[in-house]
Chain A
Amino acid sequence: DTEVTQTPKHLVMGMTNKKSLKCEQHMGHRAMYWYKQKAKKPPELMFVYSYEKLSINESVPSRFSPECPNSSLLNLHLHALQPEDSALYLCASSQGQGALMNTEAFFGQGTRLTVV
């Protein structure tokens, strides 16, 4: 199983809503990531978790709150978003920590988020 599964596939939310994006992998990977991708742009890293601990936060606004409940799951909690936060949110996973994170990262299909 080389799949990273993201739910939901599409999400429309108002600026006062609270919602969560979910990501799951069963490859035994211990590093998980959130990326944001705007149309016609490359993915941009938001957060990195290694062994369920947050290791990189790329100065992401606090209205995005990541959570890693266990080694297979990664959530992204959303609150008071702005229309400019509309994008494709991608989850990825790879092996281990440290040098073992420099291995192939598998991506999910993404959640297409629209903030209205």
Chain B
Amino acid sequence: GENVGLHLPTLSVQEGDNSIINCAYSNSASDYFIWYKQESGKGPQFIIDIRSNMDKRQGQRVTVLLNKTVKHLSLQIAATQPGDSAVYFCAENAGGTSYGKLTFGQGTILTVHP
């Protein structure tokens, strides 16, 4: 399953499918990006990050892809599980005088059906 940008904030997939969550960021000066997972009633939980000198980074079952040309970030989750159901946020940091200032995207609700 895949959502496109910030205009389709809900993604529903079946357990075992691969999921792709997309994010369009706005600041071409951003040089650090993070994906967070937020479950209901909890704070955001770090999933994976990537710096602007990379275009791909892999973690456990997750991969982040960065396309600076079109200012696009994606999170791929392999073999999605019901426990992956949550809201997923991308966040960007522009560095410079904005060090520490994370700007979050609108979020995508991922629902995984058993």
Contacts and interface: CB of A to CB of B under 8 A. Distances in A.
B46 A106 contact: yes
Interface residues of A, number: 29
A98 B98 CA distance: 9
Contact of A105 (B41, B46, B51): B46
A102 B95 contact: yes
Interface string A1-16: 0001010000000000
Contacts of A90: 43-44
A115 to B, nearest CB: 19
A98 B101 contact: no
B100 A31 contact: yes
Given A43-B104, A102-B93, A107 B44 contact: yes
Contacts, number: 61
30 contacts: A31-B100, A33-B100, A41-B107, A42-B89, A42-B104, A42-B106, A43-B104, A45-B102, A45-B103, A56-B100, A94-B100, A97-B99, A98-B99, A99-B99, A101-B93, A101-B100, A102-B31, A102-B32, A102-B51, A102-B93, A102-B95, A102-B100, A104-B49, A105-B34, A105-B46, A105-B102, A107-B44, A108-B43, A109-B42, A109-B43
